[in-house]
Amino acid sequence: MRINEYNSLDEFIYEYDSGRRPSTETQGRKFMGIEFLYRGIYYRMCYEPAENEGEPRFYYVYVMHCESRGYPTADKFEVIGRYEKFQDLLNKFFIGGVPFKDVIMDDNTEILSQD
């Protein structure tokens, strides 16, 4: 039984490539971050703002350590990936030997939150 709400990789790409658009956009929903459960581990992917004006922004992937109080409360976030380009995140980042694009589309990946 499929629990993942995404029907296509294009749908995921549309929602997250370049992060959230200005509020005047009417083409559909856009997000900066997503939390998901994959193979019993909680993760967060987020398009973080630049540290300083004019510097590049990056897509980060974190392991959410939720051992003491359980999800959604994370004890700490561990950075496991950082990419400037969304396509690099999709194609060059692996979780347990699986490309991120396949992880996010896996039938058993549970989308927990989007912001």
Cα angle 19, 24, 27; round to 5: 65
With contact defined as beta carbons under 8 Å apart, do 59 and 90 qualify? no
Q: What is the pLDDT of residue 18?
A: 61
Q: pLDDT over 70 for what percent of the chain?
A: 88
Q: Over the range 7-26, which residues count as b (16 or more CB within 10 Å of their CB) and which as e? A: eeeeebbebbeebeeeeeee
pTM of the model: 0.86
- pLDDT, tens only, 13-44: 888 876 555 444 435 667 889 999 999 999 99
The residue type at 9: L
